Structure 1
Amino acid sequence: MDAASDTDWNGWLSDYYKRYTADAFDPRHFPNLIAFRDLAIKLRDNKRKMMLAGNGASASFASHGAVDFTKQGKVRAVDFNEPNLITAFSNDYGYENWVWRAMERYADPGDAAVLISVSGTSPNLVKAAEWARQNEVTVVTFTGKSEGNPLKALGDINFHLPSGAYNVVEGVHNIWLTTVVDMVVGRAEYSVG
């Protein structure tokens, strides 16, 4: 019998889910959720686009967000998770530069970049935020861990969960991202067909 089998799983689960509820659903996040919704509507109305990027699981949430904003919210959105794009730009410009180099090709003034990083220190995303700030692209960040992370410092709208529990932070990021999609639609239940 291992130590894990002696764990009080009910207590463990209760403590684990408190990590979500303690901060993720706090009303102090409502102004940022509303600001992101307003930005998405502005992008749609002005025929601008949203570019989403992340690494690892955050890249998956970027893809999910891009599809939902486009399909459900009718906001043009693209994610930078296509393997040919990543490998070609990383090979030619270095991994730390590939996102901003891709944005350089895709972005127009008035667009928005949604950059997702639990650590908030991913060099490729920090450099993308720096490029965006210099080129009239609004920056929305989703970060965790340290409050003073460099990605958050570059954002116009910032979503931050002060936790190092990667799966919790990533899960909360996904909740916040899809909440804004539903805010753009205007309801929680609707036909997706």
Structure 2
Amino acid sequence: VHFFDSFCVDITERLRDVSPQALDSFCHTLVGAQARKRKVIVAGNGGSAAIASHVSVDLTKAAGVRAVSFNESDLITCFANDYGYQHWLAKAIEAYGDAGDVAVLISSSGQSPNIVNAAHCARDRDLTVLTLSGFDTNNPLRALGHQNLWVNSRSYNIVET
């Protein structure tokens, strides 16, 4: 079986596992942020950072939701240098996040220290935390989310799709 054929089968099977109610709840939370004039912060590492950038632009352009991602190299390198990589995103949320905002945090494994620390910070600052993760059902990021979309896969490319 070719990679692409197998990939498509895996994606189709994993989509069946995603709760329509959870997806609907995510959408309502994002629309609610717009209605309350709050912003949405979307963040991840690597491929998840690329997803975060794309989602934030789509939310702003297509849905009229004020959304940002923290993918500027100057912000990342400054905060990572000064606070350590595991804390840079939490520090960015401290600087830019306001109570009532929404943080959408993406980590395929749900165990990335900087993403987990950002979730703690966001909760402490009264942001609503939405998570996108996979791998273990009881991963640390999922435990911190007010709402969670979890993909039943241990494959990064499946979870990130």
User: Common fold, TM-score beyond 0.5?
Assistant: yes
The amino acid that maps onto 1:169 is V
- Alignment deviations for residues 36-80 of structure 1 (CA, whole Å, 9 cap, x no partner): 111111111111000011000000000000000011110000001
TM-score by length of 1: 0.80
Structure 2 residue 36 is the aligned partner of structure 1 residue 22: no
| Preserved CA contact (<8 Å) 2:14 2:153 | no
1:107 to 93, 97, 103: 97
The amino acid that maps onto 1:129 is A
- Please state whether the residue corresponding to 1:78 is helix, strand or coil: strand
For 2:52 and 2:156, locate their aligned partners in 1 and report how far apart those are by CA, in whole Å. 16
- Alignment deviations for residues 6-34 of structure 1 (CA, whole Å, 9 cap, x no partner): xx43xx544332211112144x5111111
Shift of 1:104: 0.3
Q: Which residue of 2 aligns with 1:66?
A: 56
User: Which residues of 2 match residues 149-188 of structure 1 at below 5 A?
Assistant: 149-171=139-161
Structure 2 residue 114 is the aligned partner of structure 1 residue 124: yes
Q: Which residue of 2 aligns with 1:185?
A: none
1:41 to 31, 47, 65: 31
- Please state whether the residue corresponding to 2:82 is helix, strand or coil: helix
Q: How many residues align?
A: 161
For 2:4 and 2:85, locate their aligned partners in 1 and report how far apart those are by CA, in whole Å. 38
For 1:117 and 1:78, locate their aligned partners in 2 and report how far apart those are by CA, in whole Å. 17
Superposition RMSD on alpha carbons, in Å?
1.2
For 2:15 and 2:138, locate their aligned partners in 1 and report how far apart those are by CA, in whole Å. 18
The amino acid that maps onto 1:67 is V
Unaligned runs of 5+ in 2: none
Structure 2 residue 134 is the aligned partner of structure 1 residue 144: yes
The amino acid that maps onto 2:9 is K
For 1:67 and 1:112, locate their aligned partners in 2 and report how far apart those are by CA, in whole Å. 15
The amino acid that maps onto 1:99 is L
> Identity, % of aligned pairs?
46
Structure 2 residue 97 is the aligned partner of structure 1 residue 86: no
For 1:130 and 1:106, locate their aligned partners in 2 and report how far apart those are by CA, in whole Å. 15
- Please state whether the residue corresponding to 1:72 is helix, strand or coil: helix
* C-alpha spacing 1:68/1:13, structure 2 compared with 1 (3 Å): closer
Moved more, 161-170 or 67-76: 161-170
TM-score by length of 2: 0.95
Shift of 1:85: 0.4
The amino acid that maps onto 2:128 is T
- Please state whether the residue corresponding to 2:160 is helix, strand or coil: helix
